[in-house]
With several copies, the nearest count.
Chain A
């Protein structure tokens, strides 16, 4: 099996779809000559030309909206919003338009558009270039929401997103672009709505997304050394959510930790915790732990930034807290 970086995996999904399908094109700020602010689309201008690798002016709202309009006319555009924080500028189009057009038209319209964006702490970009806003879009009926954590997943899920007939908000994590992993020779679509069990375990289930999947796997290894067996599950798609897999895992382990980089309060973990406490109430031996960013904007100074966002030791501490409780 070939090895790709997360960055290359994203690019491979885009390029392969564009090779096989004239309707697929990409648009965004500085995605052409420069290959995007994270180098994801690097080299694509040369292969596909400026009609299909389309630099846009700084107009997040209109570029999102133009992608929607093209999608309504049968294209499959993939729009890049350079930083997740700028999704706020495209929010009207994503939330009031893309998500609702099919519904408001009573099923007449189809809007097969993907909004790719990225974010994450770790490089001290400060409060306006690092926040994680995936929870917002999970709250909006009509959208699908994907957040992949490995090269294999990001490629297979982006592929599925491009060919999904619904608007998909597709989150990437900045610090993952460099990680490498094996991927199937040929792109295999990964169904939207299927969680991935990264590691089986008996004592506690950690449900994690994005960067925190990796932090959780690290924490799980550490916990193992301390005699605690940890199952790590990545929902991968936040909407639809594979409640079945998550709940089944917790029914097996009787304990749960939810981990993401976004602020804990009103973060995606709140939804997961609510679902689990409801569906696995009689199985739970301890309160569900939530691990996420502390309640602050992201500060600049690295020492403060690292304090705000969670790491493997935070996940480990949560694991230990939850197994420290007596079951009943």
Chain B
């Protein structure tokens, strides 16, 4: 494979598409919340409402052949990495047409063909896989990068430390993207981490660290680009710190008794990444409504698709255990 040409920033036309994609993710997750509340969706679900710029900005920056590992909060990453909303929604409904064929659910979304190596319901669980995948790329001389998403809470677990340390020691082409929404479930960052700037975590490994406003999709894109270029060029892994916000609860149904109601409201008013981009692009109400209608239709269709999907047979549960 030849080295792919690098785009360092998004063109205006791209940005309109980015807005559409972020809106699609937003509407998709709102729909998921609605369907969960209606009692239609089993399992534990976590939406990333407010973090759409991270998912889209990062995934846009990836090249073909690059792979990602995601977390329990995976819908946005999954859509941004190219999985069709139908397949994602079908998975949430536990259907055979789902992106994990009904075996995974919201916390275990996969789309291997599209380079999505999977959500992970164990905090930190996917981080060493990214180190190992990047090692494989390096050993085979492929110009590919492996990228992991994780949260601020995840920086406290030993797996994080070991996986990043190993990646730096081996100088593998990996990028570690911290989506710092300042909450780990009900625990605010001040209560789960002794440091106030989580970029400092990278110092323990001497890893190159970059930082961006996770609500600004252009900044996310640019920073990720920079990180990918660095990693792809063989200089070693990069830690990318995205400062972002979680507008809703930890899980769908979370009453958030632990959180000041005003905080989320204020964040929604001032830091909603969709509003910010919309203002930057000066999208008119009409244009926005058009976009909205378009993505809403896609989301509605995904629900139809999912509901009309095939329930796995009970005995299917005995398949796919061994290769």
Contacts and interface: CB of A to CB of B under 8 A. Distances in A.
B178 to A, nearest CB: 14
B122 A296 contact: no
Interface of B: 42-44, 67, 91, 94-95, 98, 100-105, 107-108, 110-113, 117-118, 120-125, 127-137, 139, 146, 153-154, 156-159, 162-163, 165-166, 169, 184-187, 191-193, 257-258, 311-323
Interface of A: 25, 29-30, 32-34, 37, 51-52, 55-75, 77, 85-86, 89, 92-93, 96-97, 101-110, 112, 123-129, 141-142, 144, 165-166, 294-297, 299-308
Nearest to A126: B105
A102 B43 contact: no
24 contacts: A30-B184, A57-B187, A57-B193, A58-B192, A62-B158, A62-B159, A66-B166, A69-B130, A69-B135, A70-B133, A72-B117, A97-B122, A101-B118, A104-B118, A106-B104, A106-B320, A112-B323, A123-B43, A124-B105, A128-B108, A299-B316, A301-B103, A301-B105, A302-B42
A214 B199 CA distance: 50
A128 B133 CA distance: 21
Contacts of B153: 57-58
Contact of B317 (A68, A92, A128, A307): A307
Contacts of B184: 29-30, 57-58
Contacts of B320: 102-103, 106-107
A125 B44 CA distance: 6
A123 B44 contact: yes
A165 B118 contact: no
Contacts of B112: 105, 108-109
Given A124-B94, A306-B314, A300 B163 contact: no
Given A55-B191, A97-B122, A294-B317, A106 B133 contact: no
B312 A303 contact: yes
A129 to B, nearest CB: 6
A127 B42 contact: no
A125 B91 CA distance: 13
Nearest to B131: A66
Given A129-B121, A304-B312, A296 B318 contact: yes
Given A58-B123, A96-B125, A107-B320, A299 B131 contact: no
Contacts of A112: 323
Nearest to A52: B139
Nearest to B92: A300
A146 to B, nearest CB: 14
A166 B129 contact: no
Given A59-B157, A299-B102, A301-B94, 17 more contacts: A30-B186, A58-B124, A59-B162, A62-B158, A64-B128, A73-B67, A75-B139, A102-B321, A107-B319, A107-B320, A112-B323, A125-B107, A142-B321, A297-B321, A300-B91, A300-B104, A304-B312
